[in-house]
């Protein structure tokens, strides 16, 4: 069993995934980072030169590969849940935690993250807060249906979010050995 973190960009997945992996003693995989290494360019460059469909193909290949692993914390990009085949792999191979945040908080966090601004593409012609609101509205039903557990990260610190996830995971009634965190 793996632990997958889903949610919109800026929800805190990368920071929380690192903290949860450390608490559990599990390896951490950042899917977007692996895609960039494989492609030899940033996500923005992939979108610009190859198109979103090409990016989603690379993402699906990574998800299929990581779905075969056990006891990994996997930080997924915000759109990884869009393809039904990805959702099936995630559901079949682990527990899924949705990190939620309001559109305003997400937009604020994205604006404060200089790296994200240069490496992440706009997803619509709208850009800005309007884009976050529209894409988030489209994805929220998918996130909600797919997730086994969710947390609102608007007012919580990453350490608090990570601790709640670890506590929840320890209480999940399943047959898998979670190891000794």
* Domain membership flag for residue 44: yes
pLDDT per position as a tens digit, 91-128:
999 999 999 999 999 999 988 876 665 555 555 556 78
CA distance 150 to 68: 24
Count how many domains the chain has: 1
Q: CATH number for the domain including 99?
A: 3.40.50.300
What's the domain range around 98? Answer: 2-166
User: Which residues sit opposite 75 in a β-bridge?
Assistant: 5, 30
3 contacts: CB under 8 Å, gap ≥ 6: 20, 24, 26, 72, 73, 74, 94, 95, 97, 165, 169
For residue range 168-178, what is the model confidence (pLDDT) as tens digits? 999 985 544 54
Residue 108 lies in a domain: yes
Residue 172 domain flag: no
pLDDT digits (tens, 9 = 90+) for 7-65: 999 999 999 999 999 999 999 999 999 999 999 999 989 999 999 999 999 999 999 99
Predicted pLDDT at 180: 42
Tally of CA atoms within 13 A in the half-sphere of 75 that contains its CB: 23
Nearest to 150 by CA among 95, 107, 106: 95
Element of type H or E holding 32: helix 31-39
| Residues with Cβ within 8 Å of residue 29, at least 6 apart in sequence | 66, 69, 72, 73, 74, 75
Q: Is the model's pTM score more than 0.85?
A: yes
Could you give the CA distance from residue 170 to residue 166 in angstroms, rounded to a whole number?
A: 6
Q: Give a yes or no: residue 171 inside a domain.
A: no
């Amino acid at each position: 069993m793996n632990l997958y973190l889903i949610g919109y960009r800026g929800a805190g997945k990368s920071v929380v995934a690192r903290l949860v992996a450390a608490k559990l003693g599990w390896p951490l995989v950042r899917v977007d980072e692996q895609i960039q290494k494989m492609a030899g360019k940033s996500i923005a460059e992939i979108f610009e030169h190859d198109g979103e469909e090409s990016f989603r193909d690379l993402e699906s290949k990574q998800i299929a590969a990581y779905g075969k692993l056990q006891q990994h914390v996997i930080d997924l990009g915000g759109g990884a849940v869009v393809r039904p085949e990805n959702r099936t792999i995630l559901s079949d191979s682990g527990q899924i935690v949705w990190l939620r945040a309001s559109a305003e908080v997400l937009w604020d966090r994205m604006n404060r993250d200089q790296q994200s601004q240069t490496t992440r593409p706009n997803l619509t012609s709208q850009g800005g807060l309007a884009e976050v609101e529209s894409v988030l509205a489209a994805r929220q039903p998918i996130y909600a249906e797919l997730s086994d557990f969710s947390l609102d990260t608007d007012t919580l610190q990453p350490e608090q979010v990570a601790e709640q996830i670890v506590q929840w995971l320890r209480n999940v009634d399943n047959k898998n050995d979670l190891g000794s965190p």
